Structure 1
Amino acid sequence: MVHMFSFQDEEDLFMVVDLLLGGDLRFHLQKKVGFNEQTVKLYICELVLALDYLQRSHIIHRDIKPDNILLDEHGHVHITDFNVATILQGSETVSSMAGTKPYMAPEVFVSFVDGGVGYSFAVDWWALGITAYELLHGSRPFEIRSSTAAAEVLCIIHSQQLHFSCIWSPGMKHLIRSLLTRDPSSRPSSLSEVQASPYLADVDWDAVLQKSVSPGFVPNKRRLNCDPTFELEEMILESRPLHKKKKRLAKSRNQPSNPLPTHVQRSLDSLAEDFIAFNREKMKPQRRSVSDKPAANKHCEGQNNSNMMMMKMMKKHSSSELH
């Protein structure tokens, strides 16, 4: 579970999450890390538990892919980037086009092209199948790009056959094939349905949940597991971003502000009650002057000065005796 809290200043809302030093799976794929089957099997199990948690919370992530799966320093996976996630209640469905095309389930495109009934949680489990295949094979099962038209994507998914490596176990092939079932009603889309796979019969799910199963791949702790030119682009382009922000805020304070409509201001005031502005000055330890020191400290200082003078006199006396 990722722990999070937030704070804000006059301009920005800051969200603080756990520091995950292992990088994302896309970075390691680009570095040609060869994930073996046992490692990918554990990833699938951990992601299945994560998707089950999201589903019980009525959340569809809609963008499961290696880029959005982070590793901690021990090699366990964590889902991130909920920018296009949405909430579903009961039997509701979604019809909007959202996600990354090579990982999007066919029912998303059907809904967009033909105005179908929409889609639900099963799209995340399709994306899990695409991700598992890519981690093992190094490339995705379907030749789909972000520029590929929606109708063409449907044609590729329904016409192109899945090809599996001969070194993969039959159980892994069957699991990935089931996750990539075109019909969402036949696709395993829950924890219990995935657990029913004979390939996962030997999995200790409680141990997986507690992260007590050691991953087969542990990121190198001695290097930065990301591309800084991509991850820190803002910081590189602007050497002192906070310095400019300080000037910008000072300028905005001096400019007369236009009053907002009453109903908008009332809504903002209600939101402000839940977010207290962070004041870093109040967090700084207060420096005490010499006069603020307790009397006991003054007494100790007097004793220390007397002791130092006594030691100097003894040292001088002993040196005169030697001569």
Structure 2
Amino acid sequence: MNMKKSSWLFMLTLAISTMITLSSNNWISMWIGLELNMMSFIPLIVDKINKSSSEAAMIYFLVQSISSMLLIMMVMLLLYKYLVINNNIFMMINISLLIKLGAAPFHMWLPEIMSKMEWSKCIILMTWQKIAPLFMMSNLNTSSIINLSIIWSVGIGSLGGINQSSLRKMMGYSSINHLGWMLAINKSMNLWIIYLMIYSMMVSLMCMMFMNYKMYFINQVSSMNMSDTEKISLFIMMLSMGGLPPFIGFLPKWMTIQSMMNNYEIIMILFMIMCSLITLMYYLRVMMNMYLSYNSSIKWSNIYYKIKPLTFFTMMINLSLPLILVLEMF
């Protein structure tokens, strides 16, 4: 990955800013961590100067600034009232954090800036940028706005990706869908961290493969000169992202279902599972396009094809769930 020297500095401050938020014991310090995070990510977006990245940076700055202003205003009200518990204030804090995350119904900016950024920046936005706001939300009281956001995120994340030709927008809607699942188990710190770790690993591997082949649209997938091994690897990765057993992507959804069943949230979990099937459909649409359409590669040339480390690592990660289950039996 070719990066300027200054980019490594911003990557470092991006990591430090999240650590500041995670290690803080008051709202002001958390807010400072979020602001530093925003100011570190914007230069990374405009690493290569062009119209798209500049537009993405502007949209990101405006959205994050509005949510930050809302957050600090509510925090000041809390301090002014000498920490008197006010549910409306906590609801507004939750809304400001949902805007930062790009959760529905405050989601419109996320797929838009995803389509204007490089894959490497998309990986950071879909993974690392979620940690601090989710951590802050797990320390707040659950309000009705969170439950509404879970339903909206899971629904919009699944339906929004159906009609997309851009892979980056599709991954953006997929991220919104997975965010809904993470919010559903947000009260349990251990569960959402495990979910985010597994999701981050899957998303990073998939986006790295897209980045290697410079794939940005669905119609490019069928014309890629990929080996059969890489095709199978990408196919397995897509199924894993959709949460299909026995792949590793099923494990976090399994944990979520189990946790919600223990809390008797039967109707919500049924809705989430149905929406998960829709996401699986648009993942499969990408893969069917690759398998059933014309392929420019010569089939016989791939018999003695050397498996790339990324492809091998991807397959091992996605097929690790049966191995984990076997190990747990002993």
Normalized against structure 2, the TM-score is what? 0.26
Higher relative contact order (CA closer than 8 Å, sequence separation 6+): 1
Greater fraction of residues in strand: 1
Greater fraction of residues in helix: 2
Higher radius of gyration, 1 or 2 = 1
